[in-house]
Amino acid sequence: MKLFSEHLSKHTTFKVGGPADVLLIPETLEELFKEIEYCRANNTSFRVLGNGSNILVSDDGVRGYVIKLNKCCNHITLTNQNQIRVGAGVSLQSFIKFSIKNNLYGNEFLSSVPGTIGGAIFMNAGTWVDKNLYVSDFLTHVKYFDGSEIKTLTKDECSFSYRSSIFHKHEDWIILEACFNLPFQPSEVGEEKRKQRLEWSILYQDIKYPNAGSIFCQGNGRVFNLLKGIKWKNVGWSEKTGNWINIYGTSSSRDIYFLIKVGKLLHYLFLKKVKTEIRIWN
């Protein structure tokens, strides 16, 4: 399916962002590969969008193709007692529930993250540094499409680090599938962990407003406390959750970016240079 001039505000958790020239939602891998071949032959740019939970899209939108994999990469399979193959378009919630149902450790600490497997691998999603838990912990390999053929990378070859992977250096590579070898865990234990994480999220995260989770990667806690409650028009730094920006009404990516610049400036005054954890699409 192709949607022309589709506003990406409908496809991101920030609920802002202008149109993509083409939003492609391929039904099959064959359709995906055919469209990528077209883009390469016509020098047309393309990007992959998961659940849009870590993206700030420009008000002017983006040129070229934006591709969603939720239909062509939506498989999830138990291949033996503890191995799961899962498509990049599968939501983290579905992956966690499937793992728990099959008496396997389900990365329950990610239960509050509204992303997809592909996006989680791209960012090496996880907890903050001191907890040291990542989606890649029990990953064995990743299949991806490099524009010409399907290839496989082992976990070590993915160069995972805090909120990063080899795919940051090769954004034209499209993650298709991941394979996990997960340790045994009684389903009731996994379900309890999942519920505890969701309860924690309700208590400590400002989830009732549109947001994209953490803005900065490894920022300064004192700065985040100073930023709390600072507002500009209908956006503001969360009063509840450090390092989050919330949307309180009709807004724009321009307003969000202004608050991000305020956060960068305040970090600079504390002698710390920070980079954004969210991806900014211009």
pLDDT tens by residue, 199-226: 999 999 999 999 999 999 989 999 999 9
Using the CB atoms, write b or e for 209-243: b if 16+ within 10 Å.
bbbbbbbbeebbeebbebbeebeeeebbbbeebbb
Does 198 lie in the same domain as 80? yes
Does 198 lie in the same domain as 81? yes
Rounded to the nearest angstrom, the gap between the alpha carbon of residue 226 and the centroid of all alpha carbons in its chain is 26
Does 237 lie in the same domain as 119? no
Examine the pLDDT at 131 and tell me if it is beyond 80: no
Active site (annotated) includes residue 63? no
Active site (annotated) includes residue 214? yes
Does 193 lie in the same domain as 126? yes
Examine the pLDDT at 129 and tell me if it is beyond 70: no
Does 168 lie in the same domain as 51? no
For residue 185, give the nearest of 268, 112, 102, 264 by alpha carbon: 102
Does 247 lie in the same domain as 129? no
Last residue of a domain, one of 151, 170, 203: 203
Domain range enclosing 132: 76-203
Does 221 lie in the same domain as 182? no
Reported confidence tier of residue 130, pLDDT bands at 50, 70, 90: low
Does 122 lie in the same domain as 91? yes
Reported confidence tier of residue 132, pLDDT bands at 50, 70, 90: confident
Say what the pLDDT of residue 258 is.
98
**Catalytic site residue from 6, 35, 177, 277:** 277
Active site (annotated) includes residue 277? yes
For residue 240, give the amino acid letter. K
Q: How many domains does the chain have?
A: 3
For 153, the token pair is 């990378």
Average pLDDT over residues 234-241: 96
Does 92 lie in the same domain as 49? no
CATH of the domain at 37: 3.30.43.10
Last residue of a domain, one of 148, 173, 203: 203
Last residue of a domain, one of 68, 98, 121: 68
For residue 224, give the nearest of 262, 280, 198, 253 by alpha carbon: 262
Q: pLDDT of 59-107, one tens digit each? A: 999 999 999 999 999 999 999 999 999 999 999 999 999 999 999 999 9
Does 196 lie in the same domain as 109? yes
**Catalytic site residue from 47, 163, 194, 279:** 163
Does 231 lie in the same domain as 116? no
Query: How many residues are given for the chain?
Result: 282
Please name the residues in contact with 174: beta carbons below 8 A apart, sequence gap of 6 or more: 32, 36, 48, 67, 69, 88, 144, 145
CATH of the domain at 197: 3.30.465.10
**Catalytic site residue from 91, 136, 214, 238:** 214
For residue 217, give the amino acid letter. C
140/151 Cα distance (integer angstroms) = 14
For 79, the token pair is 């291949």
| Beta strands at 174-181 and 216-217: parallel, antiparallel or unpaired | unpaired
